[in-house]
Amino acid sequence: MSDERDILLSTKGLSGGYGRVPILHGIDLDVGENEVVGVLGHNGMGKTTLLKTLMGFLPATSGQIRYDQNDITRLPPNVRNQIGLGYVPQGRGIFPQLSVRDNLRFAWQDHGAGSEHDVIETVLADFPRLSRLLDREGGALSGGEQQLLSLARCLMGDPDFLLLDEPTEGIQPSIIEEMSETLLKLRQRRGLSILLVEQNFDFIADLSDRVLVLERGRITGELTRADLSDQSKVDQFLGFGAARGTRQNSARPQTLTTTSRTVLKRAETFAQPPSTTAASDPQPSVSTVTAMTIKRPTLAQMRSMAERFGMSLSDEDLSEYTEIIEPYMQAYDRLDAMPDNLPEVRYPRSPGYFPDPSDNPLNAWYVKTEVRGAPDGKLRGKRIALKDTICLAGVPLMNGSSIMEGYTPEIDATIVTRMLDAGAIIAGKAHCENFCLSGGSHTNAKGPIHNPYKRGYMAGGSSAGSAALVAAGEVDMAIAGDQGGSIRIPASNCGCYGMKPTHGLVPYTGAMPIEQTIDHLGPVTNNVADNALLLEVLAGEDGLDPRQYKPTVYSYTEALGRGAHGLRIGVLKEGFGHPNSEPDVEAKVMQAIERFRELGARVEDVSVPEHHTAMDAWTAITLEGLQDGMMWGNSTGTNYKGLFLPSMTDHMAQWKGRADELSHSLKACMFVGEHFQRQYRGRFYGKAQNIMRRCNERYLAALKQYDLLLMPTLPIKPQEHPPADCSLSLYVQLAFEMVPNTAPFNGGLPAMSIPCGFSEGLPIGLQLVGPHYGEMKIYQAAHAFEQSGDWRDM
């Protein structure tokens, strides 16, 4: 920093993060009066965390923040704002249903620089584009206009210091240039100081007096104003060759071989859209690249990739390939500049809050909030908890893992929108197991989730919080997810009704996946009627989920009250007598079988030996699929159409540098999945999918004789949580020992757990399985059983 400027904001040894997850490590920085300092870094490096900590939205775990010579380390955000700090968040944070005028009015402060009208007029003088849009809703603006509104709204408080978080993200080049010019004028006229975090190098270089490089929560370098024009120094941070020019019309020289010029010319021609005009007409061209926001591969990275591919290439060859691929890199630049195409968020909400232990005795809540939907509908007034794999825009999601902690999605999952449209109230996010890789409830990064009937015992995973909150009466309903039993296991452990619908009946869009062919979402409730009602709202195609293939949807509440008389129920022989089966569990299920007979159902034994084979097939599908898609694919993968959420992908990618934080159960799965993908090239995954199809054929053959199959949901009762210092073996055993009757039906058939009795003060459940889209028969039988008497007395 130049000596002439007095220091306005400084940090010394600043560290912070999200809860127990450290992100920032000993940050030292100074920003002087009327100085602009840029912070350059890729996603996941801690840029947003730094700004949130400076503004007070996240606490500093150590170190000091000083502003205008005063220690502000412990001051709340509103006080920091009053003394001169302004914050423009990533994602803009405007109110989409308020007009531009009302967004600005919302930010006016009566202790500011004038009346509300005067301040608005002053701000609009700097943002003439917004003057024409005052009566338009914020949600109807383009991404660039929203960013200008976010900046203008910040200036309503007359700050002396701006914290800007990725202002060019998803913004068209013309708006970026307009914003750059506006900020330069504001700096000159108002004497503003600015701390700017960005990935767009041109933008940050145009505005900044100097640029800091942030990597993994540490400042690792600094570029002075002179350095920013030194190609060799910039290349260290942008990548080999990328500093030749970050604008199409850059004057920086480019040295191309004759061959590479020819290839580039061909690539440019390939990128042109086909012309339908006469030869003399001007030809359409690819949009100009005004900012190289995508980091180019360095020579070392090119060499490393070639080695992974098994290619023998010289450095000269690699340099030429770097030039050859430049037009394709520019396609990525253009993609990066475009706004994404994501679903609209239609209902206002706050980010909620993390409840204190006294307000969260089962540790079942992650975040409490209250998002109100439509004033009327099938779910009017119903309070619903979401498993913390499901996106609720503006509300944190961590999927039970410290890796995802700090992530906030910008969309609502399809089912969230459907529930809100039906009048529901989203009461918050329920804790789940660490990346959902456990049928216990002991792997969550925030601690174990307790059984509502017996503290210290498993609530069942992975949707532990969802079932525990329903059973405890804290919500009316909950959404759970199921890849190996994660709806039915906690429903059984907590004495609830949990339906895993037919694969693809409920859209998975906007939920964090494990493996597409086994991913399911479904309802958990305290009674059958609520379960059927909620499924009516959830079910149906959304056009965004590749798991769906024209699902057949019914009015499930019409199955209620039909009774069990005449139902044909096959008691699956292979569902009993597992090596760990407990006699009291099987005895309660046998009593329930007699109850069905008393209700007039025809109940007979049936054998499907492939039930055990299905468990083996599920193992290969799950372990290799999760490793390929969830881990190496960063929860996204490729080769399908549907809704993608890049922000989730970016955040999930952090696991590669933080793998020690993964749960023991997930690590065990990764070792198996990686071994078979690497050593056996994925052949067993394919074979398992083929065999699972045959297993389903055998189940369906039995279901031609019977309406439903019946068996214990789990072979065992809820177990005790292990001690914190338990062995790895015990930890993993308690995560997977209960799945032999649930996992086989993640091949796609619908299955529901219904409570059928108590033993030793803990609930026991039985499982009903039907054919594809056979939920009506399941609800019919489950409702008849529920109406025959209180399961707690059975």
Chain length of the chain: 794
Per the annotation, the verdict on 462 as an active-site residue is yes
Report the percentage of the chain scoring pLDDT > 70. Answer: 90
Distances in Å between the Cα of 606 and the Cα atoms of 581, 603, 741, 774 are: 19, 10, 15, 19
Both tokens assigned to 9: 């904001």
Q: Which pLDDT score is estimated for 267?
A: 35
Tens of pLDDT along 151-170?
A: 888 888 888 899 988 888 76
Tens of pLDDT along 734-788?
A: 999 999 999 999 999 999 999 999 999 999 999 999 999 999 999 999 999 999 9
From the list 47, 52, 382, 387, the catalytic residue is 387
Rounded-to-10 torsion of CA 442, 448, 449, 455: 100
Mean pLDDT of the chain, nearest integer: 88
Phi first, then psi, for residue 295 (nearest 5°) are -70, 130
User: Measured over all CA atoms, what is the biggest interatomic distance in the chain, rounded to whole angstroms?
Assistant: 91
- State the Rg of the chain over Cα: 29
Asked whether residue 113 carries a pLDDT value surpassing 50, the answer given is yes
Q: Which pLDDT score is estimated for 248?
A: 42
Q: Which pLDDT score is estimated for 252?
A: 36
Rounded to an integer, what distance in angstroms lies between the CA atom of residue 368 and that of residue 710?
A: 37
What's the CA angle centered on 659, arms 653 and 664, to 5 degrees?
A: 125
From the list 486, 492, 635, 647, the catalytic residue is 486
Q: Which pLDDT score is estimated for 777?
A: 98
C-beta of residue 291 within 8 angstroms of C-beta of residue 203: yes
Per the annotation, the verdict on 729 as an active-site residue is no
- Kindly report whether the global pTM for this prediction surpasses the value 0.75: no
Collapse the DSSP code of 29 into the 3-class scheme (helix H, G, I; strand E, B; otherwise coil) and give the result. strand
As beta bridge partners, residue 161 has 85, 193
Tens of pLDDT along 693-706?
A: 999 999 999 999 99
Which residues are CB-contacts of 444 (< 8 A; sequence separation ≥ 6)? 363, 400, 431, 432, 433, 434, 464
Higher per-residue confidence, 53 vs 179: 53
Q: Band of the pLDDT at 111, cuts 50, 70, 90?
A: low
C-beta of residue 461 within 8 angstroms of C-beta of residue 492: no
Q: Which pLDDT score is estimated for 435?
A: 98
From the list 441, 462, 663, 753, the catalytic residue is 462
Identity of the residue numbered 462: S
Lowest mean pLDDT among 167-171, 225-229, 327-331: 167-171
